[in-house]
Structures are given as structure tokens and as C-alpha cells.
Amino acid sequence: MKLFVTGACGYKGSVLVPKLLRAGHQVVAFDAQWFGNELQPHPDLKVVKGDVRNPDEIDLTGIDAIIHLSSVANDPCGDLDPKLTWEISCLATMQLADRARRSGIKRFIYASSGSVYGVKDEEHVTEDLELLPISEYNKTKMCGERIVLSYADDMVVQIVRPATVCGYSPRMRLDVSVNMLTMQALQNGKITVFGGDQTRPNIHIDDITDLYIFLLDHPEHTGVYNAGFENISIMDIARMVSNHVAAEITVTPSNDPRSYRVNSDKLLATGFRPKKTVEDAIKEIVGMYRQGALKNDDRWYNLKWMQKEVLG
């Protein structure tokens, strides 16, 4: 298939695109490249530096399917410039879905977020619970879902609500829990845990990228799917890190008491199975750091980099 992937140079895209190429697909990788481009050249890869907000920069000629990853990622970044967040994560999604329908594209995979549920009292968060998003990021993701679902009569729509992603990517992120705690241990020999008792869902970057390929291969599985397989506390993650890197754990109070478990039974019922764990992510990050292939670079912290380079 010829695939159009937005956000293709991001944390997930930089792992997904090489997998798509290995699977024999042609890929148009579309990205604003705020954080650079780590994709390696390939005869079946066309990298386009463009703004998803500008329809004139998007060419869907010959495209069979869209994997829409682009957004202003995470709550603090979304709150930096709410107008920008809504334009990229919601308005651009509407324009892209409409262009896809008009172009006769029959497949649309949308990367939403497990954060669309907001704060939940239910111990197990399933896809049928009401969405009560809190931040601009959560709200735009919910809005994006509803826009894309409105085209379900015109194309196969598959929506993924991932848990917090962890693990190594050529376009790294060190502002997500597992990756951040591992880098703290490697850099400082210390891990700071805020609260610690909160349980949060996690998914390895190899599993979330494999899931997009699984959905591409299985158009019969439509609708919305949670994707989070390890519901573990922040303290347990810190202890896991300290098993691989000698580090002292310090606990400080947290003003974020949210604790929830994402239920992914609906996804498991399709036959998809995760292959990696949070511990695998920790070991891989430690290995890359010790080889000198991973450095504690400002570019891997979305908020810091956006303030300095994108909005500064």
C-alpha cells in the first residue's frame, strides 16, 4: 500500500515508518520537523516537511491509507498555545479526514490518547466509559476522534487510545514516565518520584507501532481501541529502574493523585498480542545510553524544546 503518515518524524513515527517500509509499503512521511528528522533514506520513502494545518502542502494522490499521528503531544505542550493545539490536533484532523473522503481513500487510522477519559473513579477504564477530558490536549484528541468517526460510513476508521508509551526511538522522548525515570537514574544516580502510589497504564513503543500495522492488515477491526498492557505504579517503575541502574529513590508529594487502569480486553479479542514490557524499555534505554547512542538532549523534552525553538 501507499501510506500517508502524519507526524512521521515524531517519537512513534520514527519507529513506525521503518517497520512499514520493511513490510513492503510505500510511505509519504509528512511532518513539520520541529524536533528534526531521524528517518533514514529509503527508495520507498518520501519525506515531506510540511504543516498539517495547510491543506495546500498535503498531496494525497495515489494514497491508499492514512495513519494520522500528528498533534501537539502531552498536556503541558498543549497548554502552551491552546490556539495552536486546536488548529493542529482538531481543525487539521477535520481537513485531513475531509480531504481523504474526497480523494476516495478508504482507510484512516487515528492516534488518539488514553487521556481522553479524564479522571475516572472506575478501576478499569473501558472504551464505553464517558469521555471527560480536562486539558486542551485531551479535548482536542476527543474532538479529533469524533470528527474521524463521522466519516465511518465513507472509509474504514480505526482509532487507538494508547497508554503512556515507553522505550527507545531515534526521535527520543525523555518527558514520559518510564523514559524520564530511567534517564534520571543514568544521569544523576537519583530518581525523584512525585507521589508514587498512582497506577498508570503503559505500552512499549514497539507494541504501539506494531498495533498500527496490525490494524492496517486487519480492516475488519473498526472503531475505538484502548492500548495499554501494564498498569503499574510510578513507584514500581522507579524500583524496576533501580534494578538496572544503581539509583537512590526520593519521594516527594504530588498534586496529581490520578490512578487508573486502562482495560484493553477489546483489543486483545482481535488477536493482537503485546511482545514487550516496561522492563524491556528500561533495559533498551540503559543499553543505548551506555553505548553512547542516547544523550540527555533538550530536543527530547517536548515542552522545553517547544518553548525554546518552536514558540520562542
Give 221-280 as a DSSP string: --EEEEE--EEEEHHHHHHHHHTTS--EEEEE--S-----EE--HHHHTTT------HHH
Q: Per residue of the chain (312 residues), what is the pLDDT tens digit?
A: 999 999 999 999 999 999 999 999 999 999 999 999 999 999 999 999 999 999 999 999 999 999 999 998 877 788 888 899 999 999 999 999 999 999 999 999 999 999 899 878 787 899 999 998 888 999 999 999 999 999 999 999 999 999 999 999 999 999 999 999 999 999 999 999 988 888 889 999 999 999 999 999 999 999 999 999 999 999 999 999 999 999 999 999 887 666 778 999 999 999 999 999 999 999 999 999 999 999 999 999 998 998 988 886
> Rounded CA gap, 151 and 133, in Å?
22
The closest of 123, 119, 120, 118 to 141, measured between CA atoms, is 118
Residue 68, classed as helix, strand or coil, is strand
> Rounded CA gap, 253 and 239, in Å?
18
User: Considering the entire predicted model, what is its pTM?
Assistant: 0.96
> Rounded CA gap, 45 and 18, in Å?
9
> Rounded CA gap, 208 and 283, in Å?
18
Domain 2-310: CATH superfamily, name plus number = NAD(P)-binding Rossmann-like Domain (3.40.50.720)
Delimit the domains of the chain by residue range: 2-310
